[in-house]
Amino acid sequence: MSNVTGWTGKMLRVNLTTGNITTEDTMKYKEFIGGAGIGYKVIFDEVAQGTKAFDEENKIVIAVGPFTGAGVPCSGRTNITSLAPTNPYNAVTDSHMGGNFGPFLKFAGWDAIILEGASKTPVWLKIEDDKVSLEDASHLWGKGTVDTSNELNKVMGKEACIASIGQAGENLIHLSSIVNSVNHSAGGHGGVFGSKKLKAIGVRGTGAVKIAEGKAQEWLKLNRYMMTDIIGANNQHVVPSTPQPWAEYHNKGSRWTGQPALFWGAAEPPVETGECPQGNPNKVGLRTQKAIFDLGDVAEDRTIKMGGCHSCPIRCQSNLKVPELEKYGLTPYAASTCIGFINPGTVMNVNWRGTEEELVIKSLGSRLADDYGIWSNYGQLGRDFRYVLNSGKFKKVLSEEEYNSIPWDLAESEDPAFLLEFYRRIALKEGEFWKIAQGPYWLDQEWNLGDEYWTGYGNNVWSKMAFPKHHSNEAGAQVGVLVNIMFNRDANSHTHMNMIGAGLPLELLKEIAGEVWGSPDAFDEPQNYTPMNKYKAKFAKWSLDRNFLHDSITLCNWVWPMTVSPSKDRNYRGDTALEAKFFSLATGIETSEEELDLAAERIATLHRAATIKEMATIDMRNEHDIIPEWAFTDAKNPDAKPFTPGTVIMDREDMQLALTMLYKEYGWDEKTGAPTRATLERLNMKDVADELEKLNLLPS
Amino acid sequence: MFEREVEDFLEKLRTRREFLKVSGKGVAGITVTASVLNLLGCSNSDVGSATAVVTPKGILISDQSRCVGCQRCEMVCTLTNDGKVHPLISRVKVSRNFNYGTELTSDYRNKDGYFGNFLMTPETCQQCEEPKCAEVCPKEAITLDEKLGAWTVDESACIGCGACTEACPWNMPTIDPEDKKSTKCILCGACADNCITGALKIMPWEEVAAAFKRKGYRFS
């Protein structure tokens, strides 16, 4: 094991029932790379069919891959895999967090932590290099994530990284998160920690992450090449949002917002983002001024700096000064990004106004959610609240006493103080109101929301699988839909969306699509899409596979893969082999892009197998890969027809064909969408095929 | 006031640089005021946030307001000098201050660090005029490398006792737990070269001179 590089080679197994802590060899999971790959394998192999998320028999796997801690740009990710309480079948999902936790775990010498069983009393897991122990957490139970971290930093030292649940996870609220470093949260498995009475994991590492012997200079060269020629801004947008002398193209939708006279205005002294042209590695971190992108121009003067994850040159987290928060008993600072800001905006119905009031609401809400450890379910929590509120349902489902105790007038008058009530009632499981945070399926079971809830356009619920849409038919038509049907939660897959939003002219993007997926027909003009073809199936599969790869290796799929670049000299071509190049240098195992993609396909197929096992059916086409009714209607234009300009309304037959074509690309049974024995064996997963056969879950 | 700050700074630079040339000894870090930074084109306000170290190559500026806490400097430092990623022994230190700055206090929510006001504290070796690390080394393993203009560790002499770590007021030299050798900044410049926001930056002497000249100050 001494010559293992990239990985540390060791995993922890912690049994919370017995208190046993043992060490295992990571390399037995080498074919599954790390992160999600290890997670799916452990869950598939070790968690019995029919197990529910909060059962003692459920396990939760916190794992990273060979890139995390090895300095690969955008590798500060941690992947968490377990059965998901939000899913109607409690099927497997990943949650993901950035921050410092994953890299610090590697520096402590561990690739993964497998947690099993359940403690009777609150505990926390202390990891100081190879000294690992379970400690009493009774004094932490009931605390928010910030206080919990601070208490444990007092024990472990100020350098340690603490990941913990807040009150929401303790109370088994389905929409709970696991949070490290104030605002880096992984959504959906906080309650699994709670069910195991595990409050937190603290990690402090003094060791190294090795790369292949003698490869440091090559690594540095590859890193420089990526930083000068390949990387863009957040979501791998590769043109600036404003016209700039050095830039051939610009696009106002780009997240490359850095520009002359735009500042981190609350820095002392203010820092000008300025022009950050391709080729200058010392300005990459200034390209994404995300605060103005998320919150409007008013955020410029509030921006202390742009934060983000360990190792990442793309800073997508706004670190803000918001003195108004002191009025609500908080400190004058806030940090979040994207949906963390949008969800409280939805709760208060104030999104996209760009006002100071909206900024305060979003800052307050994101702070409360991260401290209580509440997950927004990609903004569905806010939409569910508005749906129930607008339908008058609260009056029917809450007792009169509870209904009258809620200050609805604050919500109506857009008073931020409503959020104090909103998040507290959820996290502390007060009355019946907290059920709003159980996720669509369970909420509907409890409160009977009716057909309109599921089929209504704009409510965004993706089918009876009960997760919200995430870059679906509006993002690449069939490709976006195929990406959305695959998971057991909202698709955290940005491969296709990043390409679509890169900011380059359509003709260039189509050319590049032709080079990567075999034909320019893989890529449609936005709002003007063509019938399904096999190149779109290849585009969808590649998008999915790279997402599974990134969650395993572990990289941020909000930036990777590098399909395009900002380099005019390269004619804006990216480098899709960059993962394989870094993998070879990190692990010392010479690996081609094709070989790594095959591993990704293996992980994707294992995820499918686990889903089939947990749902106890092979009929994925009809039971899992369901496309919501609203995707077939155009709310703005009831007469719209598929394949005509100006609409993304889908065609039913065409989408069934799309499913067939995707199944075919994967070598799955074209009728059901279930992996066949031949495919499982081709991917070296005979054991998975055997297990599915035993359960009568292999297609004939 | 401004004139005086600039003159003071220039005077310090002249003497320190002269000192560096003549004596072959190191030079201490100089606090750079905002006015001077402004003059050097580094900022545009009247509040200071940066420190600087005078080196043979130029001025190494570490700017708190620009540091985003990505910790890439630590990775690049150790890959360059040690062939592995090992933040503990990085010669530039950010991660240890990430959460709470240099000290964990009860008022942490209003202090430096990600749990407070988000400000990072990147620390670099000061290449002191009279370095404590060299002074206490029982093997005299830390000496000035005139070519590099940096106090460097002779690994063959180092016994990994950690006296240098203890003696340094900022605990910058660190013993590598793997080979038990002290690691200390040799001014290789990899951290600044790879800093994603220019928070760490080496401004070459030619640029420093040119910047002063543009503003009418004489500096050679």
- Provide the mean pLDDT of chain A: 97
ipTM computed for the complex? 0.96
* CATH number, domain containing residue B51: 3.30.70.20
Pairwise CA distance, residues A70 & A66, whole Å: 7
**Cα dihedral sign for B8, B13, B14, B19?**
positive
Interface of B with A in 31-50 (CB under 8 A): 34, 37-38, 43-49
Q: Are strands A177-180 and A184-187 parallel, antiparallel or unpaired?
A: antiparallel
**Predicted confidence band of residue B30 (pLDDT cuts 50, 70, 90):** low
SS3 of residue A633 by DSSP: coil
In tens, the pLDDT along A326-349 reads 999 999 999 999 999 999 999 999
Pairwise CA distance, residues B30 & B36, whole Å: 11
Q: Is residue B108 part of a domain?
A: yes
* Cβ partners under 8 Å of residue A372, min gap 6: A144, A145, A166, A167, A168, A423, A424, A426, A427
Q: Is residue B220 part of a domain?
A: no
Q: What is the pLDDT of residue B27?
A: 46
Contact A341, A321 (CB under 8 A): no
Q: Are the beta carbons of A285 and B79 separated by less than 8 Å?
A: no
In tens, the pLDDT along B163-217 reads 999 999 999 999 999 999 999 999 999 999 999 999 999 888 888 888 878 877 7
CA distance A668 to chain B (A): 41
Residues in B touching A2 (Cβ below 8 Å): none
Residue from the list B47, B67, B78 with its beta carbon closest to the beta carbon of A269: B47
CA distance B73 to chain A (A): 9
- Our measurement of the distance from residue A547's CA atom to the centroid of its chain's CA atoms, rounded to an integer in Å, reads 10
Q: Is residue B219 part of a domain?
A: no
Q: How far apart are the first and last CA of chain A?
A: 41
Interface test with A, best of B84, B119, B191 (most A CBs within 10 A): B84
Q: Is residue B161 part of a domain?
A: yes
Print the domain residue range for B169.
2-214
Q: What is the pLDDT of residue A449?
A: 95
Q: Is residue B98 part of a domain?
A: yes
Which residue type occupies A267? A
- Integer angstrom CA distances of residue B125 from A455, B90, B217: 62, 11, 29
Contact B186, B147 (CB under 8 A): no
- Our measurement of the distance from residue A693's CA atom to the centroid of its chain's CA atoms, rounded to an integer in Å, reads 32
Q: What is the pLDDT of residue B23?
A: 45
Contact A598, A29 (CB under 8 A): no
In tens, the pLDDT along A157-208 reads 999 999 999 999 999 999 999 999 999 999 999 999 999 999 999 999 999 9
Q: What is the pLDDT of residue B46?
A: 42
CA distance B114 to chain A (A): 7
Nearest to A546 by CA among A570, A513, A579: A579
The domain total for chain B is 1
In total, the C-beta contacts within 8 angstroms joining chain A to chain B are 164
What domains can be seen in chain A, in order of their start residue? 10-204 (3.60.9.10), 320-455 (no CATH), 470-560+592-694 (1.10.599)
- Our measurement of the distance from residue A258's CA atom to the centroid of its chain's CA atoms, rounded to an integer in Å, reads 25
**Predicted confidence band of residue B25 (pLDDT cuts 50, 70, 90):** very low
Nearest to A79 by CA among A95, A91, A68: A95
Q: What is the pLDDT of residue A264?
A: 98
Residues (pLDDT < 70) of chain A are 1-2
Pairwise CA distance, residues A388 & A634, whole Å: 23
Q: Is residue B93 part of a domain?
A: yes
Nearest to A439 by CA among A81, A85, A677: A85
Q: Which residue of A has its CA nearest to B102?
A: A158
Q: Is residue B121 part of a domain?
A: yes
Q: Which long-range contacts (CB under 8 A, 24 or more apart) does A579-582 make?
A: A579/A546, A579/A549, A579/A550, A579/A553, A579/A555, A581/A222, A582/A67, A582/A70, A582/A72, A582/A219, A582/A222
Q: Is residue B157 part of a domain?
A: yes
3-class SS shares of chain A: helix, strand, coil, % to 5: 40, 15, 45
Q: How far apart are the first and last CA of chain B?
A: 23
Q: What is the pLDDT of residue B24?
A: 44
Pairwise CA distance, residues A364 & A329, whole Å: 10
Tell how many helices (H) and how many strands (E) occur in chain B: 7, 9
Contact A31, A595 (CB under 8 A): no
Element holding A682 (H helix, E strand): helix A677-682
